[in-house]
Structure 1
Amino acid sequence: MAWLRLDMQKKVLYLMDGGQELDQVPLEVHNANASEYRLKVPFQWFDGNDDPGAMTIVLEPSMAEVV
């Protein structure tokens, strides 16, 4: 199952498949005073014949469960 992993230390969002990193996008500072970031998620993550039927977004490393 594909899932997203957000690494706030590295400021990167990863597209994962099981425990394997498939792709990544950097977070861009939107408002440094409020610790707000923006990112551009590639559309190809969500189209194509092998697009995921389900996706989990993991905000905290302790919440990650690879199924």
Structure 2
Amino acid sequence: MQKINEMAAPTVVYVSCNPATQARDLALLDEKYRVTKIQPVDMFPHTLHIENVVQLKLK
């Protein structure tokens, strides 16, 4: 997360299958980024997992 903050890309798309680690990482990225979109996606419908896609924009 430190490297992403250092790079300061204008847009970051974060795809995760673990909402707990995604929440932790988003808190670390909050220094330079704001969440602009969130979309859960069921990429594997025969499992209990759901992926989460978050778009972040540089503040």
Return the TM-score normalized by structure 2: 0.33
Looking at both structures, which has the greater relative contact order when contacts are Cα pairs under 8 Å and sequence separation is at least 6?
A: 2
- Structure 1 or 2: larger strand share? 1
Greater percentage in helix = 2
Give the TM-score taking structure 1 as reference length.
0.30
